[in-house]
Amino acid sequence: MSPLLDVRNLMTYFFTTAGLVKAVRGLEFSIDRGETLALVGESGCGKSVTALSLLRLVQPPGRVVEGELLFQGEDLRRLPPNEMRRVRGNRISMVFQEPMTALNPVLTIGEQIAEVLRLHRAASRQEALTGAADLLQQVGIGDPHLRLREYPHQLSGGMRQRVVIAMALACAPDLLIADEPTTALDVTIQAQILDLLEQLKEQQKMATLLITHDLGIVAETADKVAIMNAGLIMEYAPTATLFSRPTHPYTQGLLACIPRLGDKRHRLPIITNRSQSGETPVGQSFLDGLNPPFAPVRNKLPSLVEIEPNHFVRCWRD
């Protein structure tokens, strides 16, 4: 059976006055129905740009220059704008990083959720508000009819994040893109939000693309992991495989940076030769400081190689 989402050779560049920025450089991954794929990496590695590329929301001077985005067998890049609008927010939804900036401060919570239902489900105003109250209850917000009349600033950070999730789930999407869904939340609220996403995924058989830099969240929630650096996937494997047998030096470096409880004198390592996405793919990147078989050869990058079933590493094949 073909995957729900199949991304092939995705490239997204930014054509700035300061030069060309290759934010995403040939990404390939897939997500099956009901599966969670975690896209992991440091800030600036291209995770969020990847999500925006999938939804065709990259703004100028950025542009998707190459690749196929096959969703249920249909290439999203080839859809006319009006058809893409029917996909976005309906069949594919996104939870953005900052709930305060993702919500409109001058509209009530009820108006914002109802708008999604009226746009994609052609619901009447009353039907949309009733549906909005049901969604708030579904995501664990008490007294939903009162909350519908409130504004974002009247809610806590955790409640605002639940509202954003309710909006994303309004049309029962097949794929949810969650971009740092627990950023700026305390650990208790983080756990509640993650439990909520897991419950909703099970209930609706929804696939999830989880974008994060928190490996603890990844270990708890993801089925597969793609480790990303400078617009490239360095390692791609089932979660248990990646944590038990990390192979790429960048993956090993990330895992080594996780603090160990009880080890107060352990100095955390620093990942050297850290690179952002940029104009030159070879010559100034993390890969250039590595030993064979991970380093570029004659200005050519190694490709992803399957070293064991479903475990891919960016290296040269022996």
In a domain, 174, yes or no: yes
pTM above 0.85, yes or no: yes
Give me the domain span that covers residue 15: 5-106+151-314
Q: What is the CATH number of the domain that holds 195?
A: 3.40.50.300
Q: Is 267 exposed, middle or buried (0-12, 13-18, 19+ CB in 10 A)?
A: exposed
Residues 6+ away with beta carbon under 8 Å from 308: 241
- How many structural domains comprise the chain? 1
pLDDT tens per residue, the chain (318 residues)? Answer: 789 999 999 999 999 999 999 999 999 999 999 999 999 998 889 999 999 999 999 999 999 999 999 999 999 999 999 999 999 989 999 998 777 788 999 999 999 999 999 988 889 999 999 999 999 998 889 999 999 999 999 998 889 988 998 999 899 899 999 998 887 677 887 888 888 888 888 888 899 999 998 898 999 999 999 999 989 999 999 999 999 999 999 999 899 887 777 666 666 666 665 555 555 444 456 777 788 898 888 878 899 999 999 999 999 986
Res 265: pLDDT: 65
CA dihedral for 283, 306, 9, 275, sign (positive or negative): negative
In a domain, 116, yes or no: no
In a domain, 145, yes or no: no
In a domain, 218, yes or no: yes
In a domain, 199, yes or no: yes
Closest alpha carbon to 100 in 153, 38, 52:
153
Tokens linked to 233: 């996937």
In a domain, 73, yes or no: yes
In a domain, 55, yes or no: yes
Q: Where does the chain have alpha helices with state H?
A: 47-54, 81-87, 99-102, 109-121, 125-138, 144-147, 157-168, 187-204, 215-221, 239-244, 249-256
Bridge partners (DSSP) listed for residue 235: 227, 313
Res 280: pLDDT: 46
Strands 175-179 vs 207-212: parallel, antiparallel or unpaired: parallel
In a domain, 209, yes or no: yes
Task: Give the type of residue at 158.
Answer: G
